[in-house]
Structures are given as structure tokens and as C-alpha cells.
Structure 1
Amino acid sequence: MKKTALDIIEHAEEHLIEKIAENMHTFGMPSTVGRVLGIIYMNRKPMTLSELSEATGMSKTRMSQVVREMIDANIAEKVFEKGVRKDLYDVEQDYYQTFISLFAANWTKVVSKNKVLYKKLNRELSDLLQRDGLTPEAEEKVNQLLNELKEWLHYYDWLSRLIEFFESEEVFRYVPKTKECSSLK
């Protein structure tokens, strides 16, 4: 039986939704988030929790959790539409911006966690240096660790600047968005 145009379109959309779900995993996001992102994206207009629940086969409670996670990652937003009483959710239609949002959200968390750990370890090791009776070997090891922590902090500072480089869209001055795909020809 020959496939109809609608069958082919739906098949292509489903493939794209699944690929978006797989790609989200690369960013440390659950595939459910990617699937919902793809569904809203392919819908090309905002959707309600009920519509998302129906499209995914998941409960509205689960949809609410997924959408909240997406909003926290800056890849979805609640939108207002005149005459619609239910909450509507939309996603960024620009792949580049979605990448930047995910990159920034994930790495900002990493930077923050590691800076907290840096402060804790730096304080503990600095306090240890003040103790009496520290062997020369232990003192040398503590100083090595403090130097390592300093390098670590420099790395996370660099990473913070990289995040800003993406969020400011300065990256596009060096790696411009293109309309043609040179690598897929």
C-alpha cells in the first residue's frame, strides 16, 4: 500500500521528534524533555498540558513536571493567548538559541557546584596548614592541592566566560549561523 503524503509527513515529524529527544540526552536532559520539546516544536504553536498529555500518552501531572523542567532550562515558556483559559507552553523555534540555553543552563550548574566545592576545600586545606605538627610531606601535599584548586578555579572562571560568550551571542561573530549546510552536501 502506497503511503499518503500525510503518512510521510507524520513519519518525518516523528523521526525529528525522536532525534530531538536523543539530542537532549547529550545535554544531560531526559529524553522525555526532548520528546516534549520536539512535539511543541513540530506543532509550531503553543500547547496546553492536556494537549501534551494526549500527544505523549503521559499524565498531566507528569507533563507539568516536564514542562517545569523545560522552563527551568530556558527551553520553554508559559505564554498568553487571548481567549485561551488554560496555560499554554511554547518552545524556542531557533535551534541555535535552544543550544545556547541548554549549554548555559547545564554548565552554569556545574560551575556553581564546583565553586562551592572549591570554597569548602580551600577553607579546609588552608585551616589544615595552620595546624601544628603537620609533617613536611603533608604540608607539601596540602600546598599541591591548594595550587590544584587555584587552577581548578581558573578553569571554572574560563568556563563562566565561555558561557557568557555564548549567551551574549558573541560566538556568532566567530562561528556564524549559516543558511547552507556545507557538511551535509
Structure 2
Amino acid sequence: MEKNNHSSKIEEMQDVIISAIAQTMVIYGVSVSVGRIYGVLYFSDVPMTIDEIKDEVAMSKASVSNGLRELLEIEMVSKVWKKGERKDHFIAEKDFIRNLLTFLVKNLRQERTLLYKAIEQAKPVFDRISNDTSIDEKFREQAKQNLKYIAETEDYMDWTMRFSNAMETGDIFTFISKEKEEE
């Protein structure tokens, strides 16, 4: 009886944490249901199949499969091979710091790409307008101001690239340790 009580308490508290993980993942643009899939894998000591995950999260096989695809893409889950089995198995990346850094780096690089493409398109136009003496001074000044804004954006993009590189290489930890500081 005592073993059953401890087992159900452990399971209950794992469910509490899985729910919290699922809710916090919404902050990062991941749905609650995908967060639950991650939470179940987080507490699993062994790789799980889609069917095993489906049973744990009470979702359709298609929803679990889509959720796993999303988690694989953001590198929070890995597919592993199990000898003698044909089904795919999945494990969670349990290092929350690594998960956060991977997420941040990916998003900062995506932001940089979008901004770079826009700047690549707009900068030559602003350059041409700012240097064209046949255009009204008001518009030339506006184009010059926009070029200053672009320069500031390029400085930001350079900083985010260096920041991303520091997170990716682990150099960030020379400034902010992973370890809890002694009091």
C-alpha cells in the first residue's frame, strides 16, 4: 500500500511539473500540447515511441507526430535508434539552459535574416534618393535619416550575431556561469 501511495504521489507531482513546463513553453511560441509531449519525455528515463507518448498525453497519433516534429526542429527532442526495433524512439534534451540558448540563437538568426533582406532592398533606394539633387530636400533628408536608422539596425544585427555566437560556443558562460553562485 505504501509503495502505491508513493508511486501515485510521484506521478502526481510529475504531472504538476509537466503542466508547468507545458504552460511555460507557450511563452516561447510552443503550444501547451507540444509542451506536454516534451514534459512526458523529460521525465522518461528511457526513449519512448509515438504510441507510448500518445498514451501518456491522451492525444491522437497525428498530433503527437506533429508535436515531435516541432520539438525535433527546435532541438528539444532527439530521435534515437533502439536495436531490434523498427519504430522511432524519442528522448528529451533535459538541459533547460541548452534549450533556451538553442531557441534564442535560432530566433535571433531568423530575425537577422529578415532584417538583412529588408535592408538589402531599402538601403540602395534611400542612398539614391538621399544623393539625388533633383529631389526635394525634404525627401532627401528623410532618406538620410532612414539611412541612419538602418546603420543603427546594422549595429544591432552585428551585436545579436556576436551574442548568438557567444551563446552557441558557450563563451557566454565566462560572463554568466551556469552554476549557482555561493552566498
TM-score by length of 1: 0.87
Equivalent residue runs for 1:32-47 within 5 Å: 32-47=33-48
1:48 corresponds in structure 2 to: 49
**Deviation >6 Å, runs of 4+:** none
Report the Cα distance in structure 2 between the residues aligned to 1:110 and 1:28, rounded to whole angstroms: 15
Given residue 178 of structure 1, which amino acid in structure 2 is its aligned partner?
E
CA contact (8 A) 2:131 2:140 kept: no
1:83 aligned partner: 84
Letter in 2 for 1:142: A
Residue aligning to 2:137: 136
Runs of at least 5 residues in structure 2 that lack an aligned partner in the other structure: none
Change in Cα spacing, 1:33 to 1:118, as seen in structure 2 (3 Å) is: farther
- Which 10-residue stretch deviates more, 149-158 or 54-63? 54-63
Give CA deviations for 1:98-126 in whole Å, capped at 9, x if unaligned.
12112222222222212212212223323
Q: Which residue of 1 aligns with 2:127?
A: 126
Question: How much has 1:93 moved relative to structure 2?
Answer: 1.7
Across the aligned residues of Structure 1 and Structure 2, the Cα RMSD in angstroms comes to 2.2
Distance 2:98 2:47 in 1: 18
CA distance in 2, matches of 1:87, 1:125: 53
Match of 1:156 in 2: 157
Task: Give the letter aligned to residue 99 of structure 1.
Answer: L
Q: What are the superposed Cα offsets for residues 132-165 of structure 1, whole Å, 9 maximum, x if unpaired?
A: 7421011000110111011101101111111111
Instruction: Check conservation: 1:18, 1:35, Cα contact below 8 A.
Output: yes
The Cα shift of 1:128 comes to: 3.6
TM-score normalised over the length of structure 2: 0.88
Identity of paired residues, percent? 25
Q: CA deviation at 1:16?
A: 1.0
Unaligned runs of 5+ in 1: none
Q: Does the residue aligned with 2:34 lie in a helix, a strand or coil?
A: helix
Indicate the residue corresponding to 1:5 in structure 2: 6
- CA offset at residue 45 of structure 1? 2.2
| Structure 2 equivalent of residue 26 of structure 1 | 27
